[in-house]
């Protein structure tokens, strides 16, 4: 994803678009991390049972 965002910026030169895409990418990474953490917590809870 980083390369796609950077290439788009190089082609367009639009800084606002670049920053918005980077923000979106960061939000997606945060969501993935939260989902993984929740899955680990559920697995840990199930193991304790």
Torsion-angle region of residue 13: left (phi > 0), alpha (psi -120 to 50) or beta?
left
**pLDDT higher at 47 or 23:** 23
Q: How confident is the model at residue 39 (pLDDT cuts 50, 70, 90)?
A: low
pLDDT at 10 over 70: yes
Task: Please write the tens of the pLDDT for every residue from 20-35.
Answer: 888 988 888 888 777 7
What pLDDT shows up at residue 31? 81
Mapping DSSP to helix (H, G, I), strand (E, B) and coil, where does residue 29 land?
helix
Q: Which of 47, 20, 42 is nearest to 28 (CA)?
A: 20
Query: Does residue 43 contact residue 30 with C-beta atoms inside 8 Å?
Result: no
Q: Where are the domains of the chain?
A: 1-32
How many other C-beta atoms are found inside a 10 Å radius of the C-beta of residue 9? 16
């Amino acid at each position: 994803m980083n390369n796609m965002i950077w290439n788009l910026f190089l082609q367009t030169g639009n800084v606002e678009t670049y920053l918005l895409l980077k923000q979106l990418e960061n939000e997606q990474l945060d969501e993935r991390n939260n989902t993984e953490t929740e899955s680990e917590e559920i697995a840990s809870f199930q193991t304790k049972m």
